[in-house]
Amino acid sequence: MPRVLDHAVLSLYDVTMKPNQYLTIEQITETLNLGTRAVMNLVRRGELPSYRFGDQIRIDAGDLAKFIEASRVQAGGQCFFTEGETNGSEKNN
């Protein structure tokens, strides 16, 4: 059963109005419904800008909102996968 996100994980519209709010990797994984490894890969590839404070990684809420908007697939458009990637709905036989 999915957890209800706490108030620290804001909607897309809320985060765009609150600059310099830094979110943890855990908050990002909950917001995007992705695993830690997937989020860290986005950070390592530079697709999701991040900040390092000591040994902690943080994502600016405004940068997350921009990332989400840039990731939008237009209605009627196609979602392309590179070779070996899937959307996770295929079953292994």
* pLDDT computed for residue 73 by the predictor: 84
Q: Are 30 and 12 in contact (CB under 8 A)?
A: no
The CATH number given to 12-66 is: 1.10.10
The amino acid occupying position 88 is: G
pLDDT along the chain (93 residues), means of 10: 44 55 94 96 97 96 92 75 58 46
Instruction: Give burial (CB, 10 Å; 0-12/13-18/19+) of 10.
Output: buried
